Chains A and B, each alone.
Chain A
């Protein structure tokens, strides 16, 4: 018993030492995966950290989990892409204010052979209906992420209830974007993904974008500082500095300047003050 007591004591000591050292100069961003996986933060954060001595730590998880983590006060800033959930988050008092940050769009990728013959379609709902009718495989995130929520709303608008075919042609991976792409490509299924993840994805094989250009495939990212009234532990000032920088002219042009393979991945659209 003595051992476990001293163990607890040493853990606590370690913890205190660690938390003191971390001080006020670091914040945690609960982020969606697309921004992290595409390398956006690797590009942005050094620019921001050159100007301030705030250390920005990014935890990249699905939008659903990012919001939950932020509700548990385990983040200082939330950066996700599911507007309705983001507004609920602010409404419930967890965030101070939501600001549009940037956008890109979703695309539907599929194998070269295109078994549902949706290639070139610009109508997302029609493409979904065709996929369902053809019985071609479709791999869904199935994880309540921003992408998954968007996909579900498109299914609803196309008049198909894919959940009835779950496990048959409709395959819910319950994983992140990258894992779902890997799985979908492995089984020859169509996948809906954000363009940023797709462009920077390394395992494309014979896949290409089959459906794009529908206004309904618009993908808006928002940024929300976590509310200190709900979470007294948040680093308010540092979080505000980071958010302000992202939506400043400087931050916005940095976002616009980020490219992978000569393609711009995110398009800044924060409101000008």
Chain B
């Protein structure tokens, strides 16, 4: 046998003794314990760091003197530190914790050689740390969503190679005959991100394209990080968690096939809507608008599937922290996506473009939808990895109420303020002069900015509750009276 083949056999879990083939869920859970806890600790620290950056940036909108003389914490740097800490620090780490675990459970294969995941995680976190220090130090790249300086990217590439390949290999070694819809979403996402990131790095950083082709590449990339990385992972997690927690199969499996492929086909064209009105050929903008509107198909399909599965089980769902978070996220996926399709229409975009409406929309998508579903997934995963109960129901409730109310208010405040901002910026009187001076519009927004900071404080409270609960759980000793059970939180206890 050749060397690569023998290595492949050695790490292939199927070469074990036949009686071990039927892998129990609890074995998958145990095998994911170390990397899962590692990624969750990293994710939580990034969540807190990102929250601090967010608060600093928000306060600067109504108090220019706040950290006003610090170069590292000038608005332009803190804002991108916030974005990168949230997307690449919190979001991607929590994905690295949740996705291999769900993948392993669905493939019914225990996760072997988890050290590779941990090594990948170490590289990833060093890379993001260097990247964010680089941003604060002024080495940032002026491309939205790709601000981390070029010296951080090789580390990120190594890290993704370790973790991403592992998830794909898990699928290759699956024991289950069926392939569940979540697995398509995860596989696709783990193929899409490295490709997007590599092309964006090549065409924007190492060999920058000429002129506005950079902007096209930028928004093709940036919108797809949301659409082809965060979204499929969150949808896949919701497709697993909603039926799993409620004990009821997904409403229509046929629909989920249509939903998946229509998302794959349309979402990646939508990014051009960030350039409507800009120096871009009109046909490209039309293509982006059409794709954005076509996104209604996968959104409606997913909405039917998610919401119809929950219908009739609201009381049961309310008793589950996971379902509270995941259903909140699923509802907001429907809302944010339909809004996003509307925002891609030229007439709507004329008002919302360049305003806080877009900022609100971004938080609606990344927080109300993606992050809330990830919170739900963590509430389901951690007790099973650690064989321990969450220590405080009160802190879970606080987390849910503070973040759900906080982010909803934030989106409402930013959308309302942004809409009025857009109308006032565009208002032209009959004699061809502007109705509101630029500064008047900005001064009008001041109370909205104060309210935005307050909602940010509310969300921070929720994050602190989550942080405390998580580390309290880690420090807890397993209760010696409870025998080790495969899964916790069932009603048989």
**A and B physically associate:** no
